[in-house]
Amino acid sequence: MQLKYISWLPAMIVMVVIFYFSSKPAEDSSKSSECIAEEFLEVYENITDQQFSGSVRDEKIGIINHIVRKGAHISEYALLALTLAFHFFVWRKKIIKVCAYAAGIGIFYAATDEFHQLFVSGRGGQIRDVLIDSIGVALGILIFLFILRIGKALSKPRPLSKIE
């Protein structure tokens, strides 16, 4: 089977994963990212030989948890934009169209995902999250363009060095 006909699969898989994470009730979602935040804090404590306890520890975990959650938004939408750009590139679209289509679909999906969260227990749709997701989309497109540039540089024939 030609790559052209299955190039949409990576983007669809990313969309399904995003939908799955967005379908988790707020409490479950928070517990998942809180575990990661606790791990980050433990690593920090081990590196600095500084131990936090009580309300100070809870506050630090809350801050780290917020960063982890927003970082996840950016990461998953960067991956979505990257996979969408790959799909349109395989279909031989001009680079400007590749970027425009990937950005448009990525941001549209972010908006529909936030709308979907209005119906999930304890969650809500946030315009701020669509903006954060849009940053991820832009990052994904920049990564895609960077990869293309590296590919072009590597595929250029290099002149033989002169033997003296």
Condensed to tens digits (0 to 9), the pLDDT of residues 105-151 reads 999 999 999 999 999 988 888 999 999 999 999 999 999 999 999 99
Condensed to tens digits (0 to 9), the pLDDT of residues 53-74 reads 899 998 999 999 999 999 999 9
Q: Are 76 and 14 a contacting pair, CB within 8 Å?
A: yes
Tokens of residue 143, six digits: 């990564």
Tokens of residue 43, six digits: 């690593």
- Rounded CA gap, 9 and 15, in Å? 10
- Rounded CA gap, 150 and 143, in Å? 11
Mean pLDDT value across the chain: 91
Q: Please give the single-letter amino acid code of residue 145.
A: L
Q: Are 122 and 30 a contacting pair, CB within 8 Å?
A: no
CA dihedral 87, 91, 92, 95 (to 10 degrees): -30
Condensed to tens digits (0 to 9), the pLDDT of residues 4-29 reads 889 999 999 999 999 999 999 888 88
- Specify the pLDDT at position 78: 98
Residue in the structure block whose two tokens are 């279909």: 91
- Specify the pLDDT at position 93: 84
